[in-house]
A and B are shown apart, each in its own frame.
Chain A
Amino acid sequence: MSDLLFARSQMAMSLAFHIIFAVVGVGMPALMVIAEWRWLTSRDPLQLELAKRWAKGTAILFAVGAVSGTVLSFELGLLWPTFMEHAGAVIGMPFSLEGFAFFTEAIFLGIYLYAWKRIPPRAHFAAGVVVAISGALSGAFVVCANAWMNAPAGFRMVNGQVTEVDPIAAMFNAAAPSQIVHMTLASFAATGFAVAGIHAFALRRGTPHRAFHRAALQIALWVGLPAALVQPLSGDWSARSVAERQPVKLAAMEGHLKTGPAAFVIGGWPNAETLEHTGAIEIPGALSFLLRGDPTAVVQGVDAVPPDERPPLAIVHLAFQIMIGCGTVMAALSAWGGWRWWRRKRGGGSALPDDRRFLTAVVLAGPLGFIALEAGWTVTEVGRQPWIVQGILRTANAVTPMPGLVVSFVLFTALYVGLAIAVLFLLWRQIIKTGVTPTPMGLTSELPIPTPGSTASYPTP
C-alpha cells in the first residue's frame, strides 16, 4: 500500500471511531435530561437512578470522544498539511465555534456528572440541558466544515493560491443545511435505537428490574423512533443536494453508471471497467422520477467524467445500499411502534414493552443506527474521491510528504482497538453487569456515583 492509502485509511479509521462517541455525546445528554426531567416532575426515584446510570456511561464515552477528537484535530495537519494550508483560513470558523461548543459542553458535563449533591436539582437539570444543546451544536459546526469539502464556497483559487476568502460564505455553504439536519437526526436515531436495544434485551431475557428497564426503554424509544421516522425524508433532501453539486457521487451511490434516464438500482456489483452491473434489480425510471419528477429525465452517470475522476464505485454503492436498508427498517419499526402507541392511547392492545415481538424487533434493530451512520459517512467521504475538496484539490496532492505512514497507521489502529476493547469491557462491567437493587428507600444502584470528596471511586486501604 502507498503512503496515501495509509493516510486515507488512518483518517477513515479515526473518524469512524470518533463519530461513534461524538454521536453518543449528542444523543445521550438528551436521554439523561429527559429522565431527570421526569424525576423532577414525578419524584420517581427510578428516573433519577436512570439519569445517573446513563450519566455514568456517558462520562466514559465522552472521555473517549474528547481524546479521539483531539487526535483528529492534529491529524488534519499530520496527514493533510496541504489541505489545511489552503482550507484552514476558509473553514477555520466553524472549527473555532466548535471549540467554544466543546468548552461549554465539557464544563457543564463536569458539573452534571460531579455536582449531583452540590447544586439545586433545577440548576443540575439546566446544566444537563446545556450539555445537550452544546453537544448538538458542536456536531453541527463540524459538519459545516465537512459540507464545505463537498460544496466548496467562500474563496477563489487563483494560480494555486486561495484568495478572496469569505469564511461566512464558506460556513453557510450549500451542502450544510441538509447535512446538518441529516446528521443531527442520525445522532438521535442511532443513540435511541442502541439504548432501546440494550434495555429491550434485558426485558426480553427477563430481569428482576423490569420497572427500571421499562422506563429506560420508553425514553430511548421517544428519542429514537421519531428521528428514524423522518430520516428518509431528510435523506431524500441530502440526495437532491448531492445530485445538484456532486452528480458523479450521486451516480456512484445509486449505481447509475451510464448517462441517460436513471433506474433505481437495488443491490448489484458495479464493474468499473465495463460500467455494467452484475446481479442488480432495477426499477426503470425510478431514480429519474425521484430526482426530477419525470421517469424519462436524463441523469448524469459515472461515465460523465474521465476514469481518474471517479470514486471507487463498489464501495460507495454498497455503503449507500446499507444505509438505505438500515434506514428503511428503522423507519418501518418506528411506524409500527407509533401505530401501536396510538392504538394503545385509544385503549387497544398491550403496552409496547410487554409485546415480545416488538421487543425482539427492537433488540435486532439496536445496532442498525450505528451501521447506517458509518455507511453514510463512507458514502459521503469515499464518494467524494479523488477530491479532498470537491473539484478543487485532489486527495493525492494534499497528503503529507512524511514517508513510512504505515507506522502511524499501525500505531493508531492498535490504540483504537485497545480503547474499543477497554470501553466495551468497562461498560459491561459497570453499567450492564451490575444490577439495580430495591432498598427500602426505593431503588439504588450498587455502585455509588463518584463525587469529589468521596473516595468511592478509588481503592483505599
Chain B
Amino acid sequence: MSSTADVATALTWTLPHAVAGTMVLSLNAYVLLGGADFGGGVWDLFARGKDRDAQRTLIADAIGPIWEANHVWLILVVVLLFTCFPKAFAHLATELHIPITVMLVGIVLRGSAFTFRTYDSKRDHVQRRWGRIFSVASLLTPVILGVCLGAVASGAVPIRSTESLRTVTFGARFIDPWARSPFPWAVGLLTLALFAFLAASYLTVEATDDRMRDVFRRRAQQSQAALLALAVVTLLLARVENPLLFQGLTRGRTALTMHAVTTLAALTSLWALATRRFQTARMAAAAQASFIVWGWAWTQYPWMLPPDRTITELAGPRITLQLTLGALAVGTMILLPSFVYLFRVFKTREGGE
C-alpha cells in the first residue's frame, strides 16, 4: 500500500502521460457526445404525459445522424489502451471480464435497437419493442461503465503477484472488485445521472417549442439534483472505504480547484436553467461533466491501476507511443474539420427543410 507521500501534487509530462492525457480527452469527448446519446435513451424510457411521443421524436432526431461517430470515441480509448498500455488492457479485460461483457451487451442492444427503430418506419408494436430495448439498454450501460471506472479508481483491481494468483478464489478475483463494495455502484449511478443530465440540458436547446423546452428544463433540474446528491454520497463512501482515494479527491490545490470549478459549473447550470438561458445551461453542463472526468483523472494520477501501478510503469515501448501520438496528430487534422462540418450541417437550424 502506498503512503500519503505518493499522492501527487505536481504533474510531470512524459510520453506516457501525453498518451494517457489523450485517452482522458477522448473519454471526455465520449461522455459529452456518446454519454448524451445514452442520456437521451434514458429520457426516452421516462417519457411521460400527453406529448411523450413528441419527446421521443425530439430525442431520436437529436441522436440520429451522429451516434455512430460519437461512439468511436470509446473505441479510440480502447485502442489507445491496448496499443500504448497493453499490460493494463490485458489486466483490466481479464479481471473485469464480467462487467465488461454486460456493458458490451448493453452497447450492442442500444445501438442496434436505436437504428432498427429509426429505420423500421412501420408504426406498430414491433417498432415500440425496439424503442423499449433501446431505452432500457441506455439505462443499464452507463451504470456498468461507471462501475468499471469506479472499481479501477478505488484500487480494487490491482495487479496480483503470481503467488496470489495461484491461491485467489474465483469470487475474490472476478466478482469482488466490482460487486463487493458500494463505491463502484455509486460511481455507476453517478455516471447515469451525469449522462441523463447532459442529455436533458442539450435537449432544452434542441427543442423547437416552449412546452418541450420546459419538459427538458425540468428533467435537467431533476437530474442535476440527483447528480449532486450522488456526488456527495460517492465522496462519503470513498472516505469510509478508501482513504487513499479520498485523499486524492480532497488533498492538494489541484483537487480543491477541481471541486471548486465543478461546483461553479453546477451553480451556473442551475442558474441558467432557472432563468431560461438554455445556451448557457448547455455549456455549463458540458463544462461540469468535463470537470468531473478530469477530476477523476487527477485523482488517479499518477496511478493507472491504483494502488500500485503508475502510468509510466505500464506504458509500452517508446517508439509505439511516439508513432501513436504522431498518428493521432495527423488524424486530428483530418477529423477536426470533418467534425466541424458534421455539426454545422446538423446542429444549425437554418439548414433544415
Residues of chain A whose beta carbon lies under 8 Å from any beta carbon of chain B: 56, 59-60, 62-64, 66-71, 73-74, 76-78, 81-82, 84-90, 92-93, 95-100, 102-104, 106-111, 113-115, 117-119, 165-168, 400-403, 408, 411, 415, 419, 422, 426, 429-430, 447-448, 450-461
Contacts and interface: CB of A to CB of B under 8 A. Distances in A.
B54 A460 contact: yes
Contacts of B54: 460
Interface string B204-215: 000000000000
Interface string B318-351: 0110011001100100110011011001100001
A254 to B, nearest CB: 35
B231 interface: no
Contact of B72 (A60, A85, A102): A102
Contacts of B341: 107, 111
B257 interface: no
A408 B100 CA distance: 11
Given A100-B334, A106-B71, A88 B66 contact: no
A253 to B, nearest CB: 31
B182 interface: no
Given A62-B68, A165-B317, 4 more contacts: A81-B90, A85-B90, A400-B93, A458-B53
Contacts of B317: 89, 165
A458 B118 contact: yes
Interface in B71-121: 71-72, 74-76, 78-80, 82-84, 86-87, 89-94, 97, 100-101, 104-105, 107-109, 111-112, 114-121
A452 B352 contact: yes
Interface of B: 53-54, 56-57, 60-62, 64-66, 68-69, 71-72, 74-76, 78-80, 82-84, 86-87, 89-94, 97, 100-101, 104-105, 107-109, 111-112, 114-123, 127-128, 165, 170, 174, 316-317, 319-320, 323-324, 327-328, 331, 334-335, 338-339, 341-342, 345-346, 351-353
Contacts of B122: 429
Nearest to B170: A403
B61 to A, nearest CB: 5
B207 to A, nearest CB: 12
A66 B82 contact: no
A70 B327 CA distance: 21
A106 B170 contact: no
Given A84-B89, A430-B119, A89 B97 contact: no
7 contacts: A67-B108, A78-B101, A87-B86, A96-B331, A114-B65, A430-B119, A453-B353
Nearest to B85: A88
Contacts of A115: 65, 345-346
B111 A63 contact: yes
A90 B323 CA distance: 11
Contact of B68 (A100, A106, A450): A106
Given A84-B82, A106-B72, A452-B346, A419 B108 contact: yes
Contact of B94 (A96, A168, A400): A400
Contacts of A415: 105, 108-109
Contacts of B316: 88-89, 92, 165
Given A63-B115, A74-B100, A89-B317, A458 B334 contact: no
A64 B107 CA distance: 11
Interface of chain A, main secondary structure: helix
A173 to B, nearest CB: 16
A419 to B, nearest CB: 6
Contact of A459 (B53, B93, B101, B105): B53
B353 A117 contact: yes
A89 B112 contact: no
A403 B94 CA distance: 11
- Max count, chain A CB within 10 A of own CB: residue among B69, B331, B346: B69
A457 B121 contact: yes
B121 A450 contact: yes
B351 A95 contact: no
A103 B121 contact: no
Given A167-B323, A452-B65, A60 B119 contact: yes
Contacts of A68: 108
A63 B121 contact: no
A92 B323 CA distance: 10
Contact of A430 (B121, B328, B346): B121
A446 B40 CA distance: 29
Contact of B320 (A118, A167, A448): A167
Nearest to B321: A89
B82 A92 contact: yes
A93 B83 contact: yes
B72 A92 contact: no
Given A66-B68, A113-B65, A107 B97 contact: no
A430 B119 CA distance: 8
Contacts of B345: 111, 115, 118-119
B338 A103 contact: yes
A408 B107 contact: no
B65 A458 contact: no
A73 to B, nearest CB: 5
A93 B260 CA distance: 39
Given A70-B107, A82-B90, A96 B328 contact: yes
Given A77-B82, A113-B65, A167-B319, A99 B72 contact: yes
Contacts of A71: 104, 107-108
B111 A67 contact: yes
A234 to B, nearest CB: 28
The 10 closest A-B pairs by CB, nearest first: A92-B83, A77-B93, A88-B86, A89-B316, A63-B115, A81-B90, A100-B331, A85-B90, A459-B123, A114-B65
Contacts of A73: 75, 78-79, 82
Contacts of A69: 75
Contacts of B174: 402
A399 B260 CA distance: 46
A84 B86 contact: yes
A87 B316 CA distance: 10
Given A71-B104, A92-B82, A459 B127 contact: yes
A460 B104 CA distance: 31
Contact of A114 (B80, B87, B107, B346): B346
B65 A88 contact: no
Given A88-B89, A458-B57, A76 B119 contact: no
A133 to B, nearest CB: 12
